[in-house]
Every structure is written in structure tokens, then in C-alpha cells.
Amino acid sequence: MGLRINTNINAISALRNLGITDRAQSKSLERLSTGLRINRASDDPAGLVISEQLRAQTASLQQALENSEFASNLVGTADAALSEVSDLLIGIRQSAVFAMNTGGTSAEQIAAEQDAVDSAISSINRIAATTRFGSTQLLNGASRIRTSSVNSNISNLNVQSINLAGQSSRTFEVAVNSAAERGRVNFQLSGGSAAGDNVVKVSGLLGTAEILITTGTDTQDLVDSINAVRGATGVTAVLASGTDGSPAATDLVAIISEGFGSTEYVNLEVVSGSDVLAAAETGAPSALAAGSSISDYGADVSVAMAGANIDTSGNQVEVNSTFFTGNFTIADNVGSGSLSFTVLDTGLTFQLNIEPVASDNTTIGLPDTSAGNIGVTAYNLGSGADAMSVGGFLSTVISGGANDLTSDPQNALRVIDAAIDDINALRGYIGAFEANTVESNMNSLGIALENLIASESEIRDLDFAAEVAEFTRTQILFSAGTSVLATANLIPQNVLRLLA
């Protein structure tokens, strides 16, 4: 073998291996101190790329989860305010029922109840104007989904949610196949007035009332008698021909259901007498014998919207689809044709997932719930002096309004019931949105987040048991390498023995 002094190959080799062990020990110490298997790209390039993608997705999911919680809190604020509105409406209805008890109440008592109604309506308007979540107005119409270019035959358009797929607006076409109808029976007295006593039963959706037609009763008397009990029957009578109400053979009384739809009907039964002529719909009346009856049912409007599920009740249309959810009213004089409206990019948009696609966000609208916007659009039965207004908005129930407790308590009750239905429907919608969209989304996001974090941990986090074993190995190797290097440095000293 060769003995060299200038170049100690054994020491160089031992030093190189000791350097490798030192770097391995340094990495092991770094991993143990950070708890991460990957601290820099060189540790695992492919693993780093995948783990960074998972980290970005995890952070986005955490934000989407916070967005969902934000949506839940906002909707909860609106629901709490609407709950108070509902309580106020129940009190208003109680006052209206009290006012109808004319046999046991005084004018002063009704006036006191009217004061209570006015105060409650004022509170409803205040709640609508002041309910906020942060700086967002919720119930004054500022958070509604706005529309434009609405066909004049579409009214009460309420857009609950919309998916515009990134567009600033979208126009929807509504095809009307057939119009809504009321139940109607034409009624006439033989010769224009009764020649003897007749008894008829008039029935509608609300119930049945018995009408006595005595000798000399004319058609105007008959209209008044039927309308006096419309709160018990749900039907209204108007003069369909003749203008002055005087006895005439041509005077025709139309008994009409106050609502539209297949559940509305009118039934006329002759209990006794022979002076009654009747026909369903617009047919010419013919004699109706005692013990006989005639009925007519209304019909729901028939409409279609491409790609949407349609539910109709009377002239009310409910639309539920992936791109549009809402309701509106079709005018009863539209038998067929195409109507349209445009929805604008407004309302409250919640980003409930992580991608900028339509399926990952939801837009809802909260309508104006002030007294001038809850109830039902008033419509007239009959014309001229015989016209009778049915329905109206809650604001008409205040003192001096068309439906205050002294003017028309029966119609006031219908208006209040319609307002209660509006608030209940809105609460049901936002409750379903919270339960079925927001809370279920939070549950699914929580599971996805858990799995993503677990996947990232598998790639990036350190297995301490394995790393401690590796660190112990490198410690031993380092000690051994140091000892070997010391030994290698002693070998050139053997050259001195040759020089002695």
C-alpha cells in the first residue's frame, strides 16, 4: 500500500460521508422543530405542488363556510323581524273580528280598536324601514330583486331567487294558455220581482247562507241580500244588466265567487218557490224548480315557462326552477298570449362555495313588507254604481281607509288574511333557504374541509415516530463518522516511523 502525507484519501472520504450525515441530521432537526415533512420545495417537489393546491382550496372552503354563516345570520335577522310583524298582524285580525261583532260593541269600542290597528300598522312600517344587517336594509325593498319591462298583464311580481349565469339581466317569457275564472251563476227573478215567497241557498268556498225572497223583492234587493252575507259564503252578487235596480225582466244578477281558481265555486239551490231562473256561467237563465240546484266552478290560469315547474292557484302563478323562483299574478282578461318580464342583477348574492360559477352562488330577494305592499291588489266586481271593491293592501285598513273597521270590516278581514299569508309565505321561503340551502351547505362544506385538511396532512405533516427514528440513526452515524475521521487523520503519522 502507499503511504501519503499531502493527500489523505481516507480522511477526505470520511469527511464527505460525515457532511452527508450532518445535512441529513440538520433536515431531521428542522422537520422535528416545524412538524412538517415538507419545509422547502426540494424536500418533495411533487408533494409541495399538491399540498399548496390543497391549502388554497382549504382556505377558500373556510371562507365559503364563513359566507354561509353570514347568510344564516342575515336570514335569521329578517325572520326575527317578520315574526314580530306576524304577531302584529294577528292582533290586527283580532281587532277586525271584534269590529264585526256589531251587536255587542259600541262605536267607541270600535274606534279604540281602530286606534290599536293604526298603531300596529305604524309598527309594521317601522320594522320594514329599520330592519338591517350591518348596513344592508332587509325589508324596505332595498334587498329585493328588481325587474323591468314587465308586461302590463303581470302584476305583483315577486322574484325570490334568480340565477343570471353572469348576465346583467335576463328576460323571461310566460305563455298563457287559458285565463283564470271565477265561479259564476246567473240568477233572475221571473218578471223582474218575486210574485210569492221563495227561499234559496247560496253557497261558496266559505259556507252557505239562506236567502228569503218575499213578494215584491226586486233584483237590487236580491243583490243587497246576497252581499250582506258574503262574509259567510265567499260569493258576491252584482247586477249584470240593468243600471238602476228597478224591477225589470231584463235585470240579471250575477253571483260570483270572490276568488279565482278551481277551488272557488258558486252553488244556488232553490229550497222553495217558483220565481227563480238560473244558469251556470253566462248562459241564459231558465226556471229552477224547488229542490233543484245549479253550480259552477272557477278555473286556475294555465301558463308555461320553458324549463320551469309551474304551480297555479286562481290567477296566481308560482315558478320554481334552477334559474328562477318567484310568483306573480296574471290579469284575468288574458285568455292566451305571450307575456314577458326582465329580471336585473340585484338582490342579495351569497357565494356559498369556492368557484366563480353559477352553481356555487345563490341570489335571493327580500320584498318590501311595509303595509302598502302586503295584502292583495284590489279588484272590482260589477261596474258603475253597483261596483264592489274586493281585497286591498294592509294600508287600506288604517283610519279613513277604504277597509277600516267601520267602512268594511268583512273586506278588512280578507285584506288582513292576505297580508298574513304574504308574511307567512316569505318566512317559509327564507326558512327553507336557511335550512335547505345554507345549513345543508355548511354541513357539506364542513365535511369537504375536514377531508381536504386530512389529505394535506398526509402529504405535508411529519410522522414524528419515523422521523425520531431517522434522527437517532443520523446521530449515531454522525458520532461514528466523527470517530472515523479522527482515526483517518492519524494514518499519515505512520510515515514518521519510516523516517526514524
Question: Which amino acid appears at position 108 of this protein?
Answer: E
Tell me, what's the pLDDT at 446? 93
Tell me, what's the pLDDT at 243? 43
pTM as predicted: 0.79
Per-residue pLDDT of the chain (500 residues; tens, 9 = 90+): 567 777 888 888 888 988 898 888 888 888 888 888 888 888 889 988 998 999 999 999 999 999 999 999 999 999 999 999 999 999 999 999 988 887 777 888 889 999 999 999 999 999 999 999 999 999 999 999 999 999 999 988 999 999 888 889 999 999 999 999 999 998 888 776 777 788 899 999 989 999 988 888 887 888 888 888 887 898 988 887 644 444 444 578 888 998 889 999 999 999 988 878 888 876 778 888 888 899 999 999 999 998 888 999 999 999 988 889 999 999 888 888 899 999 999 999 999 999 888 888 899 999 999 999 999 887 766 555 556 677 889 999 999 988 998 888 888 888 999 999 999 999 999 999 999 999 999 999 999 999 999 999 899 888 889 889 988 988 898 888 888 888 888 887 777 777 76
